[in-house]
Amino acid sequence: MAKLYSEKKITETQINLNPKEETVSFLLNYSKALSVIHCNNLKFEALQN
Amino acid sequence: MRHELITDAALVSNYLKGDESALSVLIHRHQQKIYSFIYSKVYDRDITEDIFQDTFIKVIRTLKLGKYNEEGKFLPWVMRIAHNLIIDHFRKNSRMPKFDNSGEFSIFSVLSDSSLDAEKTIIKEQIECDLRRLIDELPDDQKDVLMMRMYQDMSFKEISDKTGVSINTALGRMRYALINLRKVIDQKNIILTN
């Protein structure tokens, strides 16, 4: 029988191609913590815990 | 469904006004497209996760710094950021290639240490010693041809000149030498492999 040389389909990963909850949660928390301070014509980034 | 009614542009605008939940909607709305896009390029869940996170960190910083000006084209803009980060990732990896062993393919299955370890060195010495003893058991004419061919690397022409027999005779002696060696090895169940 002829051999198949084509690559296998990635079925496992195609089912759930979404970022982890922690990643999204981190991003939302990062957004909340990040603030930009305007001072004269300068902008400063500040990360608050 | 309610979220779908609000356009990306409106959500970005709300976010810029301080509505943090707008960002959550934007992320959830586009996460699958962006994540799949990254994964289709890097084929690694962990790297995809990292690039996805870096993409949105850049998005958040750019928005908060007020540098975003592509109103109405939020997704293409985020995709462009992700695309650039994927290129950065491959550039970094081409300078310092990384082999991970987490998948089905293991790099160590094709890379091996060709030098023998102590045990294999001893086994090799024993095999060579056993083989020499077997060769010593051969009739002299066969032994001479075999020694000249295998250990002194002489051609059959040189062997024929040195021993004063024809090339065909030398070839025949070599053939019988090998047949006899195999016979003894088979009879005595000697294993000559490392």
Q: Which of B107, B66, B20 is nearest to A43 (CA)?
A: B66
B131 and B85 both lie in a single domain: no
Is the C-alpha dihedral spanning B1, B7, B11, B17 positive or negative?
A: negative
Q: Which residues of B are less than 8 Å from A33 in CB distance?
A: none
Residue B84 lies in a domain: yes
- The contacts of residue B95 (CB under 8 Å, 6+ apart) are none
The residue of chain A nearest to residue B24, with distances taken between CA atoms, is A28
Q: What is the mean pLDDT of each run of 10 residues along chain B (194 residues)?
A: 73 90 94 93 92 95 85 86 94 72 66 74 86 89 91 91 91 92 84 72
Q: CA distances (Å), B63 to each of A35, B34, B50, in order?
A: 11, 18, 20
Report the pLDDT value the prediction gives residue B1, as an integer from 0 to 100.
47
How close is the nearest chain B Cα to the Cα of A39, in Å?
A: 13
Residue B132 lies in a domain: yes
Give bridge partners of residue A39 from the DSSP assignment: A42
Residue B194 lies in a domain: no
Q: Which of A30, A24, A23 is nearest to B46 (CA)?
A: A23
B62 and B149 both lie in a single domain: no
pLDDT, tens digit, 9 for 90 and up, residues A6-42: 766 555 545 568 999 999 999 999 999 988 887 777 7
User: Contact B80/B115 with Cβ under 8 angstroms?
Assistant: no
Q: Is residue B66 less than 8 Å (CB to CB) from chain A? A: yes
Report the pLDDT value the prediction gives residue B48, as an integer from 0 to 100.
94
Structural domain containing residue B176: 118-187
Q: Is residue B190 less than 8 Å (CB to CB) from chain A? A: no
Q: Is residue B27 less than 8 Å (CB to CB) from chain A? A: yes
B182 and B99 both lie in a single domain: no
Tally the domains of chain B.
2
- State in Å, rounded, how far the first CA of chain B is from the last one: 69
Contact A31 B66 (CB under 8 A): no
- The contacts of residue B149 (CB under 8 Å, 6+ apart) are B156, B159, B174
Given the cut 0.85, state whether the ipTM is greater than it.
no
How close is the nearest chain B Cα to the Cα of A18, in Å?
A: 5
How many residues are present in chain A? 49
